[in-house]
Amino acid sequence: MFGRRRKKSEEPETGTADDFGSHEQEAGEPGSADAVTDADATRVKLPPAPRPDGPWDVSEVTDPGSGRVNLGGMYVPGVEGMELRVEVAGESIVAATLVVQDSALQLQAFAAPKREGLWDEVREEIATGITKQGGVIDEVEGPLGWELRAQVPVQLPDGTNGVQVVRFVGVDGPRWFLRGVISGQGAVQPQTGGLLEQVFRDTVIVRGEAPMAPRDPIVLKLPEDAQMVPDGVQQETVEEGSRFAGGLDKLQRGPEITEVR
């Protein structure tokens, strides 16, 4: 099931920047078909919402390297005991995954239009991809804004079928979009999830001035003091959380690094 929930105290305001569903009507109401068409036509044209608590553009931070790991196109906050891995698409590093005990947060940054956000459109694509795989999606308003909470079908180590709970979060910034995938205990336990949410908020994006097409990944680089580790080390926690993103992250797993804080 894929549906947007609105707080009981929240009143629809047509045309607001952060209202993704203000033009939608209940099925069966007069004019509902036209309303859905209008909403679909305007969803991708909404400007990015304010980000009072981050994540940040590099222009908004005085010292982005303070307490963060420099990955070139992204500065990732350091957390005690974390492992930081990178993933590749072709020859380019396009994703970073933080593993803290039994939880993981995958971060990917993409170029975005100057005056339009991507997260509203991307949520629908992720939901479609997961439901086609037999998964279940719920769209809720969480601590980071609108997010998807998914029950993704997976195959367990013993060969039986199971379900993994995954949270997809996203924020639109100035000409960039940051998407996060929270898996493991962070997807089901509020206390653990709160730590990863803070990491997401404190991430700094370096978009650069070069022309980029919308949805192009912002390429990352290895930190200078990175240590290479063998492929396959503790991959199970993050493997399932990055499979479904409507074409955004069909990644090939490549060399990984571990940064122990």
CATH topology of domain 56-258: Protein Transport Mog1p; Chain A (3.40.1000)
Q: Assess whether pLDDT exceeds 90 at residue 241.
A: no
User: Which pLDDT value is given to residue 162?
Assistant: 87
Indicate the domain borders of the chain: 56-258
Mean of pLDDT values over 136-144: 93
Range of weakest confidence among 29-43, 69-83, 194-208, 214-228: 29-43
Q: Assess whether pLDDT exceeds 90 at residue 124.
A: yes
Q: Assess whether pLDDT exceeds 70 at residue 32.
A: no
Say if strands 92-100 and 227-229 run parallel, antiparallel, or are unpaired. Answer: unpaired
pTM: 0.72
